[in-house]
Chain A
């Protein structure tokens, strides 16, 4: 039982430490990805807007 308890203690500490570091990395990097995604989708929207306009639609 002591062995299992030690394994789970160590596992929990290691996983929590990795999660803390990963959270910071993902939060900072994810914000850059959000901006990139919106920029990409915004750029994709533009041709269809002009196409609509050329068809006389607003």
Chain B
């Protein structure tokens, strides 16, 4: 790590008291995971919490999952570089989630069908082969998508606590956090995830409100807006400005991401499928529109505040993040945690660190559980000639949780892409959700949708990987297309190919292969 950055990171208000607050929280989380372990008796309770989650607990769990530390970090990065113009992403996400909640678009019908996972829907609608292909695409896009979670989350902990003075701190934190989250996800499954999400929601809410209040108090409400105006100009406010960070195509892509983020993304859908009734799902989504907005808007604001702090009150940080030679600039992901480490008092820093570790864990446990159960339920089990025993399913899911954890550690240490984290995530996620949107939308609302069209649409999602920086460089097309343009093209292409494939190769009349084992669709 660059010595100037190390020096900058080491100036934090984090004390032993803050470590104590974090430790108490971590012990309490582990205790909850262990206490609820005894309720796990089958796959429905392990990955669906027995479908007995009430509306308010569902909202808390949804917020806990979707406002992860990775979200906080990549959003702060967007606010740091894009200013208030980044707020359009939060507004788009919230409005689209509200529409889904009011109309029940896709999620209502999915919950009515009582499926446990999205690929299970594929099987009921299009047959077993589509389920397996959908599971493969889902696992591929999803696991790639969470590849940088651990590293970026650990960067926050390192930055806010000032551990960066030790060069090996990042790796140690990555290993420690991963171990912690693996232990209680493996033990408790969705029940422990939902209950710890609730606890995490309490700490997160308090942390979000306190930190925002301190940031405004420290910098001054008007000063924040005035500094952005003077340093960034109108592109710091207007998301459609062509010379800014975003633009019309980016905003359109964000609207689509908002839709798939709440109605297709498996961790959100898993929350819907764990609810006690389809009506509860609609309420859950309508109310979650607030937390879907907050999860982006508050970190954007913190990133903006970090920018204002650096430009107006921290010349040492200005030299680190905005040196004369831009190539020497430090990773701007560190800007927000360094800012918080300097303005928050001891005690509050411990609370916010606990809140962010809570956010980290609630996202990780849900994602680990989601991808591992998809591989078990939707790829491995359907490929078995005999019905896969329940114990084997739970065991395999737990082994896969560990394996994905090891991958996340490895990918975080070795991936060298230069994309903004949010753009990396939207592109990798698009491998799955562009094709899945076409398949689910047509599968739920168009009777003539066929399995051939579904397979083609799912495969076409892989085009989205062309939006990734290292892939563009490898193919010699770097800079020709933005990730947003590739993503928008992919979704249009998936819809067209789903439509054409279904018309040209309709399914033969007769029942689909829906002999899903009872344990997989309780």
Contacts and interface: CB of A to CB of B under 8 A. Distances in A.
Band of interface residues on B: 35 or more
A21 to B, nearest CB: 9
B225 A9 contact: yes
A45 B209 contact: no
Contact of A15 (B36, B39, B238, B294): B294
Contact of A8 (B38, B49, B84, B198): B84
B194 A4 contact: no
Contact of A45 (B41, B198, B293): B41
A22 B198 contact: no
Given A1-B238, A44-B50, A45-B38, A34 B198 contact: yes
Interface string B84-102: 1101001100100000000
B360 interface: no
B466 to A, nearest CB: 32
A40 B52 contact: yes
Interface centre among A11, A19, A38 (most CB of B within 10 A): A19
Interface in B1-53: 36, 38-39, 41, 45, 49-50, 52-53
A44 B209 CA distance: 39
Contacts of A31: 198
Contact of A32 (B41, B54, B234, B290): B54
Contact of B53 (A32, A33, A42): A33
Given A5-B229, A22-B290, A27-B205, A33 B57 contact: yes
B195 interface: yes
A5 B225 contact: yes
B209 A40 contact: no
A15 B85 CA distance: 16
A40 B238 CA distance: 50
Contacts of A28: 56
Contacts of B208: 19
Contact of A26 (B52, B87, B201, B238): B201
A27 B87 contact: no
A12 B49 CA distance: 35
A32 to B, nearest CB: 7
Nearest to B60: A30
B57 A37 contact: yes
A32 B84 contact: no
Interface string A4-20: 11001101100110111
Given A22-B287, A23-B205, A33 B237 contact: no
B353 to A, nearest CB: 19
Given A8-B237, A9-B225, A37 B194 contact: yes
B237 A5 contact: yes
B225 A1 contact: no
B485 interface: no
Interface string B200-242: 0110010011001000000000000100010001100110000
A19 B297 CA distance: 11
A20 B52 CA distance: 26
Contacts of A29: 54-57
B233 A1 contact: yes
B39 A33 contact: no
Nearest to B59: A26
B39 to A, nearest CB: 4
Interface in B57-89: 57-60, 63, 84-85, 87
A47 B104 CA distance: 35
A37 B201 contact: no
A31 to B, nearest CB: 8
A9 B233 CA distance: 16
Contacts of B191: 37, 41
A34 B195 contact: yes
A55 interface: no
Nearest to A16: B212
Contacts of A48: 41
Interface of A: 1, 4-5, 8-9, 11-12, 15-16, 18-20, 22-23, 25-34, 36-38, 40-42, 44-45, 48
Closest 6 CB pairs of A and B: A33-B54, A29-B56, A33-B57, A4-B237, A23-B205, A1-B234
Given A1-B229, A12-B301, A37-B195, 16 more contacts: A5-B225, A8-B87, A9-B225, A15-B94, A26-B63, A26-B287, A27-B60, A27-B202, A30-B54, A30-B57, A30-B59, A32-B54, A36-B52, A37-B54, A37-B194, A40-B50
11 contacts: A1-B229, A5-B237, A9-B225, A15-B293, A16-B298, A18-B290, A22-B287, A31-B198, A37-B50, A37-B57, A44-B39
